[in-house]
Structure 1
């Protein structure tokens, strides 16, 4: 990373614009609201993939809310906030893997129709979130974290829809379990990326001018 890039990162105030604040509030409402609805759907349908995706939505809502609260903070505190977000999402990813491993021992047939329906709705919600964040996808670790998860969530939703079709076709829960692990992998990959970005911001903020 060049000195000019470091200077740009320190002097980047795109996170403080009114438009970015409105975008963040929109994403918080979309993610938390639908995440709660998907938790209920996951338990009703017995779908581990829907439960994992619901955690993804709630995690994204939490990340976005932290990013909103961090607006106006110094770069070092924004980086620390992003670091906390990355650790939190990593723990969620590990939790999904543990839960999915348990589900393998107690196989139940999830309802593919409910999986598919909520998967399509989730895809619409994530595309809407990514769309409002599209003009604000670059900046410090907090800004990049919110964009990264909104973008990756659409990938997870497509996987849920595919799993619903495979569950109906094979009459087994295995595709559902595979998708849950894939979504957990997205959590862990994004967690690593955020932690790496946050550490970079901390290094920039704490280096001599």
Structure 2
């Protein structure tokens, strides 16, 4: 594939008539995105069941992260070939979606504070370990492609945060077993939500920067 190509568009997206940089779009990049989509959506469904079975808020938060990661990565795959402005808009949507997930996890965790239910540490640890392995694979697959526009960066940040969140889930499982309380599980759920929100801000910031760049390129 040529490293640079011209994409034509309408009057509302004058930047489409400019030469766009697609040097990061290779067959390997496409394969990497499809791999991440399949791994995340598939295991996200499995982890929802595990979270419900174990009563773990941290696992439920992580399962939402998996499903959100898979869905947004699919959006990133679809956005390949779009103009810079439209790729930035896709990334902006990704960032807002991730922020909404973070707010949802925080709200659910607050609700859990008033529900006296201790999660099963063994199930948490088992599925947290499997999730970590899957996310490490995803992160390694995406590692060569992490440099790029806001859309590419969003996909990379999702997988990186998943791996960090899984380490926290495993730690929470050990603390739940050791302390005999649900508080470590809730604390980790809030930490995972914090990762969502931090990445959301970063993705939105880069997306806005790309939008400004596209508008500047479109100006005569």
Name the structure 2 match of 1:87.
96
Does residue 128 in structure 1 map to residue 131 in structure 2?
Answer: no
Q: How does 1:1-209 map to 2 (within 5 A)?
A: 11-207=20-216, 208=219
Name the structure 1 match of 2:15.
none
TM-score by length of 2: 0.89
TM-score by length of 1: 0.94
Q: Structure 1 residues 14 and 118 mapped into 2: Cα distance closer, same or farther (>3 Å)?
A: farther
Native 8 Å contact 2:47 2:127 kept in 1: yes
Name the structure 1 match of 2:5.
none
Report how many aligned residue pairs link the two structures: 200
Detail structure 1 runs of 4+ shifted over 4 Å in the superposition. Answer: none
Native 8 Å contact 1:115 1:161 kept in 2: yes
Q: Rg larger in 1 or in 2?
A: 2
CA RMSD of aligned residues (A): 1.0
Which consecutive residues of structure 2, in runs of 5 or more, have no partner in the other structure?
1-18
* Structure 1 residue matching 2:160: 3-state secondary structure: helix
Please give the alpha-carbon distance, in whole angstroms, between the structure 1 residues aligned to 2:90 and 2:154. 11
* Structure 2 residue matching 1:139: 3-state secondary structure: coil
Higher RCO (CA < 8 A, seq sep 6+):
1
Please give the alpha-carbon distance, in whole angstroms, between the structure 1 residues aligned to 2:82 and 2:51. 37
Which consecutive residues of structure 1, in runs of 5 or more, have no partner in the other structure?
1-9
Native 8 Å contact 1:14 1:20 kept in 2: no
